[in-house]
Amino acid sequence: MTIRVEVDIFSGRSNPVIELDDEASLSLLERLRPASRLDTDGENLSPSFLGYRGFVIREAADYGAWPRRFRLHGGAVTGQGLAHYIEDRAAEHFLASSNGPLRTIDIDLERLRGAIDRAHEMMEWPWWHWHGWPWLNPCACAPIYEPTWWNVPTRQPANNCYNYATNYRSDTFAQPGKAAGAEYGALTCDAVRSAAIADDMIDSPAADNLCPSVGHLVALVIAPGWDFQVSQESRWHVVPQTGWNGGDQRR
């Protein structure tokens, strides 16, 4: 028996996944035992946003009364019939430590630990309870907001933020340039921008985020961040920030 641990940090690209052996699986679940219950209405849970969104734990049901899939984020676990702060609040840091299970995969552990710290801070000081999101004027030709169409088991796992941004269901977990046979070869702004243009995205850096008369703006975020921003007119808006970050319509 093994537990699969997914680092939920990307959206447009596949998330890193590791498999734990039996001993490591039991050790992790011991760390996740309940300390106190979360509010049943989810009030203590942090909002969805780009970047680190915790660890998705799968196949734990083989080890007892755990759901088949649940999430570890900000020192708490949530899933079907599951909503509690964990006994070992450092479990996420352990997974991302230099001696932890993630050391075997290609991921920036130091940056990940920083993101985990921020997630814990958000749980301790839930600022989003008191700050409303700004109202934005959408582009007149923007795709219709259809979360019930996109976020179903037959579509959402095989389509990502790039599919949603281009308003095209491919069921291929699309990547810039892939459809044109010119997929990016490096996670750099220039490479991804060229790949998007190959897909007939329109590049116009002087757009200043103004909605075009035809088409709609699309935001591409590459993490971690740089200190500059490039805007593309019509159907492309790039925010250069090494990995895709985007979101389905739940985020």
Distance CA 157, CA 172 (A): 9
Q: Residue 224, preceding bond cis, omega within 30 degrees? A: yes
Cβ proximity of 83 and 35 under 8 Å:
no
User: What single string gives the DSSP state of each residue in 169-213?
Assistant: --SS---TTTTTT---SSSSHHHHHHHHHHTT----GGGTTPPPS
Residue 239 has what pLDDT?
A: 35
Per 3-state DSSP, the chain is made up of helix, strand and coil in percentages (nearest 5) of: 25, 15, 55
Cβ proximity of 16 and 111 under 8 Å:
no
Cβ proximity of 54 and 62 under 8 Å:
no
Distance CA 69, CA 87 (A): 19
Cβ proximity of 38 and 45 under 8 Å:
yes
Kindly report the pTM of this predicted structure: 0.75
Residue 63 Rama label (left phi>0; alpha psi -120 to 50; beta)? alpha
Residue 223 has what pLDDT?
A: 63
The dihedrals phi and psi of 34, each to the nearest 5 degrees, come to -70, 140
Residue 119 has what pLDDT?
A: 85
Residue 10 Rama label (left phi>0; alpha psi -120 to 50; beta)? beta
In order along the chain (251 residues), what is the average pLDDT of each group of 10 residues?
88 88 92 85 60 90 88 90 90 92 87 88 72 66 82 89 87 92 87 89 76 77 46 36 37 31
Domain boundaries, the chain: 3-129, 135-251
Residue 240 has what pLDDT?
A: 32
- Write the DSSP symbol of residue 92: H
CA 110 to the chain's CA centroid: 18
